[in-house]
Amino acid sequence: MSLCIAMTCEHENKPGIVLCCDLAGTRGDVQSEDIVKIRDVGYATVLLAGNMSNARELLIACTQSIVEYPVNGDDLAITRLKEGLTKAVKQRKRDVSTAVLSAELGLSWEEIFNHAQVHPNDPTLMEAWSRIKRLDLGAELVVCTFTDDEAAILVVEASGKVIWVDHYAAVGTGSQIASTFLHQRPYADSMPLDECLYRAVEAKMAAERNPYVGPKTNLEFRTSSEISFISNEYYAQLKAATANWLHSRPTINFTGDILDTRRLKYPAVKSRTPGPSA
């Protein structure tokens, strides 16, 4: 239960990233609205989505690779970051598999792998491998940082895939709705901050149709050297304007007939001769 959005833009001739998250989560069986999903790690900011316990474990696994990324690194440094994240996620998936298999079969991932080399057709091992393939990380991360000339966003998907994305990323239970809104207009990394904030809030408020996306919002902006919080007064006006747009119907000044009605001509209905009884 969560929604996290990261979007590139430009402010005062510097590349920046808008960060937008809800605050919904659970504590045991109780739903809460106080879960902070933004973490500063080294020279990067990371957004956490999914089960927060799983997300924190995933972040711990990826922290070393993120910390090693230099401030304003080049494309090669981003590539190394992506490779490091991929390696860390691979090990995390093995750890998740071991935890599940140990509980169900009393075996680790390594034991399953080694036994499978000797007994590839063992039905228990085949079922274990099938179980491993169905597992995911139970969480997603969005890693936001900067190269020497642009903002960079990397996504760690629940499947374990690591992607360096263009322009923006949305993860979590409301991401499909948010992404649909973000896809509607052309996008440029040079987009001004105010337009980027509007699009982020628009996508987040639309995603609130998903019952697991909370109404409260954490909205921030960062550059390679600064982190800024959006003023409460500006956010209140932005939210009100966005809500008005989402819930209003545009006025269309059309004076002609709305309908162009034509009578349908149906073929004559012929009665059927009953067939023989069974």
Least confident of 20-29, 43-52, 169-178, 234-243: 20-29
Q: 3-class DSSP state for residue 172?
A: strand
**Band (257; pLDDT cuts 50, 70, 90):** confident
| The pLDDT of residue 260 | 78
Q: Look over the chain and give the mean of its residue pLDDT values, rounded to a whole number.
A: 87
Residues of the chain with pLDDT > 90: what percent?
Answer: 62
| The pLDDT of residue 87 | 96
| The pLDDT of residue 19 | 97
Higher-confidence residue of 23 and 112: namely 23
**Band (120; pLDDT cuts 50, 70, 90):** low
Closest CA to 140 of 217, 59, 45, 22: 59
pLDDT, tens only, 6-61? 999 999 999 999 999 999 987 666 778 889 999 999 999 999 999 899 999 999 99
| The pLDDT of residue 249 | 74
| The pLDDT of residue 62 | 97
Which uninterrupted H or E stretch holds 41?
A: strand 38-41
| The pLDDT of residue 233 | 94
pLDDT, tens only, 53-101? 999 999 999 999 999 999 889 989 999 999 999 999 999 988 887 777 6
For residue 7, CA distances in Å to 30, 32, 84, 200 come to: 31, 26, 23, 7
Residue 235: Cβ within 10 Å count: 15
Contact 27, 15 (CB under 8 A): no
pTM summary value: 0.83
Domains and CATH numbers, the chain: 3-247 (3.60.20.10)
